[in-house]
Amino acid sequence: MSFDEQYFNLGYIDTLSYKNTCIHRLDPRTKVIATLAFVVTVVSFPKYAVTGLLPFFLFPVLMFALGDVPVWFILKKVLVVSVFAVFVGMFNPLFDSRVMFSFDGIQVTGGWVSFLSIILKFLLTISAALLLIATTSFPGICHALRKLGVPELFISQLLFLYRYIFVLMEEAMRMVRAREMRSFGARGQGLRIFVSLIGTLFLRTIERAERIYHAMLSRGFTGTMHFVKAHRLGGSDIAVLTLTGIALFIFRTFDIVGIIGRQAEGIF
């Protein structure tokens, strides 16, 4: 991914989070807790679980549909980060070649089943994280984390970081452009130029931090950050949390796919 692309992606996901749908209107705490519960439940499935994971796709699909999140944009991001999980999972079929089933002579080994399980878990957990941020503003998430007991200092750190990512990325983007204009894409890409580029960016960052601090002081900063938008847990939040909890429990406990499959076989 090129620099510009990364920058615009970050900005785009930020604008998504300011939409106004029923998912966006939920309290950030609700979404953070529900997402964490979802991730832990998915990951708690044993190594060879495949069919048990399928009903869980209901959650991202509901988020996509109700939260009005563009599907392809998220899927593309999921694919970009899939490298490590696929790389490690890929070895399962090589090392675990015990046959688990055979359909009409096609033998399916345990390795392929556990590989498929890793991929399904990967899709579910990563899309959950991205959907959380696409439907909740980052300051909202910080607020939720603070209410859930994360240290104040870390929260203010996150808020600052988020606020200045865009500023510093623009700064860095200008420098990268300038390097490219002068080097015709080939020369000047080496370590030496890179180091002085980063060093200069660092000095500018420090100077900026100094100015920010003075600006904050003159506005009465005493060491704590305040939130303007008040959030509160409403009836819909409690309903969503309860429903999510029940659904997660049912999907984790009962073999939904097996039950539906047997029913369907009975009908045909």
Partner 1 sequence: MHMADSLLSPAVGAAFWAGTSGALAYSAKKLKASMDEKMIPLMGVLGAFIFAAQMINFTIPGTGSSGHLGGGMILAVILGPYAGFIVMASVLTIQAFFFADGGLLALGCNIWNLGIYPCFIVYPLIYRPIVKSGSTPKRIAIASIISAVVGLQLGAFSVVIETMLSGRSELPFTTFVLLMQPVHLAIGLVEGLVTAGVINFVYAARPEIIESIASARPLVAGLSIKKVFGGLLVVAVITGGVLSWFASANPDGLEWSIEKAFGRPELPERENNVASALKSLQEKTAFFPDYSFKKAEGPPDSAEAGKSETSWPAVEAGTSMSGIIGSALVLISVLLIGVVIKLLRRKSGGNRTI
Query: 139 to 178, contacts with partner 1 by CB under 8 A?
Result: 141, 150-154, 156-165, 167-169, 171-172, 175-176
Distance between CA 87 and CA 83 in Å, rounded? 6
Binding of partner 1 at residue 75 (CB under 8 A)?
Answer: no
Closest distance of CB 229 from partner 1, Å: 18
**Which span (226-234, 238-246, 258-266) binds partner 1, by CB under 8 A?**
258-266
Q: Is the dihedral of CA 121, 122, 124, 129 positive or negative?
A: positive
Positions in 222-251 near partner 1 (CB under 8 A)? 222-223
Closest distance of CB 233 from partner 1, Å: 21
Query: Given the complex with partner 1, which of 30 and 117 has the nearer CB atom?
Result: 117
CB 13 within 8 A of CB 129: no
Positions in 11-40 near partner 1 (CB under 8 A)? 13, 19-22, 35-36, 39-40
- Using CB under 8 A, pick the residue from 26, 34, 116, 138 that binds partner 1: 138
Distance between CA 67 and CA 181 in Å, rounded? 41
Closest distance of CB 55 from partner 1, Å: 6
Binding of partner 1 at residue 259 (CB under 8 A)?
Answer: yes
Distance between CA 192 and CA 29 in Å, rounded? 46
Positions in 176-215 near partner 1 (CB under 8 A)? 176, 189-199, 201-203, 205-206, 208-210, 212-213
Positions in 84-123 near partner 1 (CB under 8 A)? 84-85, 88-89, 91-92, 94-96, 98, 100-101, 103, 110-111, 113-114, 117-119, 121-122
What angle do helix axes 110-135 and 138-147 make, rounded to 10 degrees?
100
Closest distance of CB 232 from partner 1, Å: 20
Query: Given the complex with partner 1, which of 234 and 258 has the nearer CB atom?
Result: 258
Query: Given the complex with partner 1, which of 187 and 242 has the nearer CB atom?
Result: 187
Closest distance of CB 22 from partner 1, Å: 6
Closest distance of CB 136 from partner 1, Å: 9
Query: Given the complex with partner 1, which of 222 and 229 has the nearer CB atom?
Result: 222
DSSP string, the chain: --HHHHHHHHHHHHHHTT--SHHHHS-HHHHHHHHHHHHHHHHTS-TT--GGGGGGGHHHHHHHHHTT--HHHHHHHHHHTTHHHHHHHTHHHHH---EEEEETTEEEEHHHHHHHHHHHHHHHHHHHHHHHHHHS-HHHHHHHHHHTT--HHHHHHHHHHHHHHHHHHHHHHHHHHHHHHHHTTTTT-SHHHHHHHHHHHHHHHHHHHHHHHHHHHHTT--S----SS-----HHHHHHHHHHHHHHHHHHHS-HHHHHHHHHHHH-
- Using CB under 8 A, pick the residue from 65, 238, 243, 246 that binds partner 1: 65
Q: Which two tokens stand for residue 196?
A: 């002085």
Query: Given the complex with partner 1, which of 75 and 231 has the nearer CB atom?
Result: 75
Q: Which two tokens stand for residue 205?
A: 């960052």
Residues that bind partner 1 (rule: CB under 8 A) add up to a total of: 127
